[in-house]
Every structure is written in C-alpha cells, then in structure tokens.
C-alpha cells in the first residue's frame, strides 16, 4: 500500500470530535422502524397454582396442561411440591428425575446439568419436577429457591412457551413456596379448593399473601379458583364470591374421575366425557385477568360453614392459675426477690 493511500485513511489529530458529531448526525437521520400493529405472536403466561396438599392440584394441572397441548398450545408444567407427584399422572405413574437430585449427582460427578436431564415431554406437554429433601434432611422452601436458580441458569426466561404452570403446595408458608408471589415470577395465581374448611383456609392464606405483596408494590393477582371434588354444598362458591375472585371450573366429585385418576389416566382429552370441562377450564385460565382479592377474616371464613361444624357457639373461658397448678397464685407486694424458707 502506498504512503498516499495510507495517509488518506488516517484522520488528522484535530478531527475525532468532528468525526463523532458527523456519525451521530447520520445515526439520528435514520428513520425508526414503524410501530408494530400486528397481534403479539408469543407472550408467555406464567401461572402459579396453589392449594392444600391432597386437594387435587396435580390432577387438575396434569389434565389442564394436556388439554392445552391438545389445543395447540406449548405448555411447560413444573412441579414445585417436595412430594414430586405433579408429573406422575402425566407420565402414567412414572416418576421423573427431579432437578434437586439430578443437580446433586451431576455436581458430584463434575458435570453440568443439561435440559434433557431434567425436562421430559408427552404429547406436546413439557414437564419437570423441582423435588425436595427427604424428611428431616433439609428445607423444602430452600429446595424450591435452589431449583429456580438452576432453571435460570438453564435459560428459563428465554424459553418460548405459551403457558408455564407452577404447582405449589399452599399449606406451607415458608418463603420458598411464596417465591412466585413475592418476586413477581408469575403474572397470576389460581387456587384449588373444595367445600371443606381446611382447603378454603389455605386458599384464603394465598389470597392474603397476594394482597400483602400487592401493597408492597407487587403485580401478581388471583385469576380465580378451581373447585375440585365439588359436592354442591356451596362453601367454595361462597368463598370465591366473598373474596372477589371468579370460579374458573367446578370438577364434580365423581367416581369415574376418582378411579381414572387413581389409575394415572388422563381425562383432559377432547374425546373424553370430561373433555369439554377441561377445554372450558383451559380457555378460562388463559383469559382470566389477575385481580386483587379480598381475603376473609377468620370469623368470615368460619361463617361459610354451619356452627355445628365449626364450634362457633363455644364460649372461650380463661384458665386460672388454680386450673394449672392446683393452687391459687399469691400476689407479691413488691418486685424484690423473696426466697421461700427451706
């Protein structure tokens, strides 16, 4: 290359500022892209489902996720219950390796965790279990936090799903199980309950947690309630009305459902007699907006049930020192320490 050509490509010492200004002017002159007016093609809804242990969250979610996939949606189901039973119905009773146990094994072997080690699929539904420690060997809530930390390393926020459904145990109140609500990790919450006091107590606690974090600036709301094992006594319906949340579906207490669930049979299929029920639930779950609930007081919650069931007619009688020790408490005249004679 000639000396002249080299000099043509070298800027004089006095020109860097002028060159930068010119570059900025050229960049500013470029017209921005037009604002998009087409429909959004991919927006993931992350939904946390809470309920009392044994109320039927896993049954509801397995069939709901399966129906969503049959409707053409891309669905990820994540079990966040230490029992690791969320995916058992989906996989015909077969347990899949959990994130917690897989992570521990891989760490001991000095190997990284790959998505194929912890995520499995069936008929369009992707599913995984966070897992948890054995009884007395660790904190279940901490296991949840560790599991989500690993999911983030695996690219959780970049995955392209229509729905991510999180199955959480509602009657455990430690911080790990409240993670989606406390950290705005989901857009909305769904509670699963029945016509019994304990499941509605848990549902009310979840509503209280949502309202608490909304007051702190959170954005998570309650999309509604699924009534499972509905025997038509009406307490769950009354709770939802008082809490200001819609009932998304009422799954009847039917012997056919019970038997098929016990045999790990999916009933949320278009050809099933229960297909219309789960198709309607899938639509309601997708469209229901997150709302601020109105948690009930303890007395209001008990008021949903008859006094014969809850004992509201019982009068609380204060205990006395005589009741406790068999003798009357002696009131001492001063605050000084008085030693009894030996």
Catalytic residue among 52, 188, 229, 260: 52
Q: Is residue 336 part of a domain?
A: no
Q: Is residue 118 part of a domain?
A: yes
Catalytic residue among 57, 188, 229, 260: 57
Residue 83 among the catalytic residues: yes
Q: Spell out the residues 6+ positions from residue 79 whose beta carbon is closer than 8 angstroms to its own.
A: 58, 85, 86, 87, 127, 128, 129, 130, 167
pLDDT tens-place values along the chain, 342 residues long: 444 444 444 445 456 677 767 766 775 665 544 433 444 344 889 999 999 988 999 999 999 999 999 999 999 999 887 777 788 889 988 888 888 888 889 889 999 888 899 899 999 999 999 886 666 666 666 667 777 788 888 888 788 999 999 988 776 666 667 878 888 888 999 999 999 999 999 999 999 999 999 999 989 999 999 999 999 999 999 999 999 999 999 999 999 999 999 999 999 999 999 999 999 999 999 999 999 999 999 889 988 887 665 555 677 888 887 888 877 666 666 666 666 665
Number of separate domains in the chain: 1
Residue 42 among the catalytic residues: no
Catalytic residue among 74, 83, 121, 242: 83
Q: Is residue 29 part of a domain?
A: no
Contact indicator for 239, 193 with CB cutoff of 8 Å: yes
Q: Is residue 35 part of a domain?
A: no
Residue 332 among the catalytic residues: no
261: helix, strand or coil: helix
Catalytic residue among 162, 171, 196, 254: 171
Q: Is residue 327 part of a domain?
A: no
Per-residue model confidence (pLDDT) at position 316 = 80
CATH number at residue 265: 3.40.50.300
Nearest CA to 122 among 167, 148, 88, 153?
A: 88
Residue 172 CA, distance from chain mean position:
12
Residue 66 CA, distance from chain mean position:
18
Contact indicator for 310, 222 with CB cutoff of 8 Å: no
Per-residue model confidence (pLDDT) at position 39 = 41
Q: Phi-psi region for residue 303, left (φ > 0), alpha (ψ -120 to 50) or beta?
A: alpha
Q: Is residue 222 part of a domain?
A: yes
Residue 123 among the catalytic residues: no
Q: Is residue 62 part of a domain?
A: yes
Domain that holds residue 98: 47-302
Per-residue model confidence (pLDDT) at position 2 = 44
Q: Is residue 24 part of a domain?
A: no
């Amino acid at each position: 290359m000639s000396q002249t050509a080299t000099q043509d490509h070298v800027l004089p010492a006095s020109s860097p500022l002028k060159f930068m200004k010119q570059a900025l002017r050229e960049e500013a002159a470029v017209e921005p892209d037009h604002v998009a007016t087409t429909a959004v093609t991919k927006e993931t809804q992350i939904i946390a489902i809470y309920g009392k242990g044994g109320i039927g969250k896993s049954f509801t979610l397995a069939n709901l996720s399966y129906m969503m996939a049959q409707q053409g949606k891309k669905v990820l189901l994540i079990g966040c219950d230490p029992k690791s039973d969320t995916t058992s119905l989906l996989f015909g009773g077969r347990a899949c390796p959990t994130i917690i146990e897989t992570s521990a094994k891989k760490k001991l072997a000095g190997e990284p965790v790959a998505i194929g080690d912890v995520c499995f699929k069936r008929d369009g539904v992707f599913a995984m279990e966070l897992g948890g420690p054995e009884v007395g060997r660790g904190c279940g809530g901490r296991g949840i936090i560790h599991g989500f930390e690993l999911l983030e390393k695996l690219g959780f926020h970049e995955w392209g799903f229509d729905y991510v459904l999180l199955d959480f145990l509602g009657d455990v109140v430690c911080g790990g199980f409240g993670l989606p609500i406390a950290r705005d990790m989901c857009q909305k919450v769904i509670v699963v309950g029945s016509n019994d006091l304990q499941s509605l107590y848990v549902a009310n606690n979840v509503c209280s947690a949502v309202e608490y974090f909304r007051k702190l600036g959170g954005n998570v709301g309650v999309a509604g309630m699924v009534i499972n094992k509905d025997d038509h006594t009406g307490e769950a319906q009354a709770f939802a009305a008082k809490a200001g949340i819609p009932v998304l579906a009422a799954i009847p207490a039917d012997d056919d459902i019970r038997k098929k669930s016990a045999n790990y049979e999916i009933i949320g299929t278009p050809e099933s007699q229960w297909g219309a029920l789960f198709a309607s639930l899938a639509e309601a779950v997708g469209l229901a907006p997150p709302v601020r609930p109105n948690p009930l007081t303890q007395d209001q919650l008990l008021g949903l049930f008859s006094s014969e069931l809850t004992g509201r007619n019982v009068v609380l009688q204060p205990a006395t020192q005589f009741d406790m020790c068999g003798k009357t408490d002696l009131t001492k005249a001063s605050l000084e320490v008085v030693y009894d004679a030996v």
